[in-house]
Amino acid sequence: MTRHSRHTPVSFRNSGHNRPGLASKRSAFVPERSTEGGERNRGERSMGVDYYKVLQVERSAKDDDLKKAYRKLAMKWHPDKNPNNKKAAEAKFKQISEAYDVLSDPQKRAVYDQYGEEGLKGGVPPPDSSWSGGQGHEGGPTTFRFNTRSPDDIFSEFFGVSGFGGMPDMGGSRAGGSRAGGNPFQRSMFGEDIFAQFRGGAEPSAAAPRKAAPIERTLPCTLEDLYKGTTKKMKISRDVPDASGRTTTVEEILTIEIKPGWKKGTKITFPEKGNEQRGIIPADLVFIIDEKPHTLFKRDGNDLTITQKISLAEALTGYTAQLTTLDGRNLTVSITNIISPTYEEVVKGEGMPIPKEPSKKGNLRIKFNIKFPTKLTSDQKTNMKRSQATVLVPCLGSPAKLPFAPLLLQIPSITVTALEGGMAVQPEEIFSKFFGFEDWGPGNGPKKAAAIVRTLPCTLEELYNGATKKLKISRDVLGASGRKSTVEEVLTIEIKPGWKKGTKITFQEKGPDTRRGVIPADIVFIVDEKPHSVFKRDGDNLIVTQKVSLAEALAGYTAQLTALDGRNLRVSIDSVISQAHEEVVRGEGMPIQKEQSKKGNLIVKFSVKIPKLTSEQKTGIRMLLTSL
């Protein structure tokens, strides 16, 4: 029950009749104001507490503004949140609650706006009004009583419970009330107490029931469940008060119908299935679909993907995938195309059901992991590279010339040509005039203008070898007579080997000098790296990708490269080159900026070109690869 504070009643003259129903409208009580009275009232109000200032709101604040301000300040100043300064926090919390109580009540606010705190509490009569503020009898004066609500009651009105355990001498309830000694909470089928958040909760204000926050739990489902649909039954236990108010534990079975095509994150809500407490609307119980990993398939929206491991012979000559679908059907997918490492076979309508159109399905995408031979003997390599394009076919008993051989063996090696202009000095006009200074405003001593930032494009050769760049600038300066003139200057930048994108070079106070009391701006150049046609930079490493034929990948390959400093570089690879193979050449990367005698690595990657084959060629290559 709300406890009323004791304050001196304030009497108002009545027109002789009561008008119930006006208490909820601010327009119900608006005392007339005279200019003289208004001046006097402002003086009185200044002697009391400024409730608007307490809540940190404007005088025109609406109900939503008041609620937002109260929520923020009440959480900040609740005594239980300030154990080291509890006494001061309690006083502040009471004041915040009183301010909200007055300003959120249209009648109290109307009195306060005209007469201030002293008038509200101290008995200053208002002008004539047709509003009846109390329980007076007909024909006599009515009485407006200033009754404040308990700070704890106001707090629980907002937050559902007293929040921090109640406050002494405020009429609030304490946490751990009627339910603290009740039956222990039952553990749910999830292995934990899903209603534990209500343990020890205080009784909320009966006048303003609040709904408890939703209780969310994951619902793990297999991919088969989500493909075909299924029914899951979940047993829960929760506390419910009986007619006498005693708490009893009841069990209930919840049935969830999983629909085909449901996705991870789908929510199933059972309204008000949480623990029941007096004054609190039970929480909703929300299950959120989670998808268990599958051993074969992965889901991508409405599509399914699967990866098949195949041999190189199968990739070149044909492959048939034998699959078992999520609903148990046998699925045969024949692929006659050449299968490259990036190839995907799409089977229409064999993906997941589409939730909004269960009669339709997404696609099945089959990806491939091609297994290359681990190594070849010298004889096998020789036979693959014979100048007459002869391939040893063991089943024929002698070397045979096959029509597919030229396609496999006669693609030349790729040679990277040197780039020009590695260390050329190219003066550039960066800008002709600087502008856009900040207005620094008043202050003591000269201020410095904001830095002027420009990019400095550099080639990869310049950042590898080092270079000198000369940049001509022109800027305005004030002479001794105060006249402005334009001067030109050449700035020299020494690019150091190993510099990276983002390196900054600063020329101090080289900006325009046209404002008295302002120090000229610094000019800052930021290194930017131009794209290279062959190499890519990765920190201190360089990366190059070589396209090779299948024969070169199997029988051996020599990369012919031109380094960024013009040297010819040969990299011989004897091992079988798969699509994921990388050859690391140590010390052939970029110079290390802080240790320029050292360099990073050169990483050679490969793109293996898979050829197209005729039926006869497929037969021959199948024989060859089987022998390997």
- For residue 72, give the CATH number of its domain: 1.10.287.110
The reply to whether 618 falls in a domain is: no
The reply to whether 187 falls in a domain is: no
pLDDT of residue 308: 95
For tokens 């490269």, what's the residue? 561
Total number of domains in the chain: 4
Q: Which residue has the higher pLDDT, 389 or 343?
A: 343
Span of 39-43, 250-254, 372-376, 496-500 with lowest mean pLDDT: 39-43
Phi-psi label, residue 60: left if phi above 0, alpha if psi -120 to 50, beta otherwise: alpha
User: What pTM value is reported for the model?
Assistant: 0.45
Say if residue 77 is in the same domain as residue 140: yes
Q: Helix, strand, coil % (nearest 5) of the chain?
A: 20, 30, 45
Phi-psi label, residue 139: left if phi above 0, alpha if psi -120 to 50, beta otherwise: left
Given 291, 308, 334, which residue is the final one in a domain? Answer: 291
The reply to whether 540 falls in a domain is: no
CB 454 within 8 A of CB 525: yes
| pLDDT band at 384; cut points 50, 70, 90 | low
CB 427 within 8 A of CB 471: yes
Tens digits of per-residue pLDDT, 237-261?
Answer: 988 887 777 888 999 999 999 999 9
The reply to whether 2 falls in a domain is: no
Q: Which residue has the higher pLDDT, 111 or 442?
A: 111
pLDDT of residue 166: 46
The reply to whether 328 falls in a domain is: yes
Say if residue 29 is in the same domain as residue 144: yes
Three-state SS at 36? helix
Please give the share of the chain, as a percent, with pLDDT higher than 70.
69
Mean pLDDT, residues 259-274: 94
For tokens 């108010």, what's the residue? 245
| H/E run at residue 553 | helix 550-555
Say if residue 311 is in the same domain as residue 236: no
Say if residue 239 is in the same domain as residue 340: no
| pLDDT band at 190; cut points 50, 70, 90 | very low
Average pLDDT, the chain: 75
pLDDT of residue 540: 94
| pLDDT band at 423; cut points 50, 70, 90 | very low
Say if residue 76 is in the same domain as residue 141: yes
Mean pLDDT, residues 477-485: 84
- For residue 331, give the CATH number of its domain: 2.60.260.20
Tens digits of per-residue pLDDT, 555-596?
Answer: 788 999 999 999 999 998 888 888 788 999 999 999 998 887
352 C-beta neighbours (distance < 10 Å), count? 24
Number of residues assigned to the chain: 628
| H/E run at residue 102 | helix 86-103
Nearest to 109 by CA among 55, 52, 67: 52
The reply to whether 133 falls in a domain is: yes
Range of the domain at 116: 10-159
Given 269, 291, 313, which residue is the final one in a domain? Answer: 291
Say if residue 286 is in the same domain as residue 304: no
Say if residue 34 is in the same domain as residue 150: yes
pLDDT at 477 over 90: no
Mean pLDDT, residues 472-480: 86
Mean pLDDT, residues 415-437: 36
Q: Which residue has the higher pLDDT, 14 or 113?
A: 113
Environment class of 419 (CB within 10 Å of its CB; exposed 0-12, middle 13-18, buried 19+): middle
Given 261, 291, 321, which residue is the final one in a domain? Answer: 291
| pLDDT band at 124; cut points 50, 70, 90 | low
Nearest to 158 by CA among 54, 75, 277: 75
The reply to whether 549 falls in a domain is: no
Say if residue 458 is in the same domain as residue 364: no
The reply to whether 562 falls in a domain is: no
Tens digits of per-residue pLDDT, 155-179?
Answer: 877 775 544 444 544 444 444 443 3
Say if residue 51 is in the same domain as residue 150: yes
C-alpha span between 590 and 596 (Å, rounded): 9
Say if residue 284 is in the same domain as residue 310: no
Say if residue 80 is in the same domain as residue 118: yes
Say if residue 103 is in the same domain as residue 200: no
pLDDT of residue 53: 93
Span of 204-213, 239-248, 457-466 with lowest mean pLDDT: 204-213
CB 201 within 8 A of CB 173: no
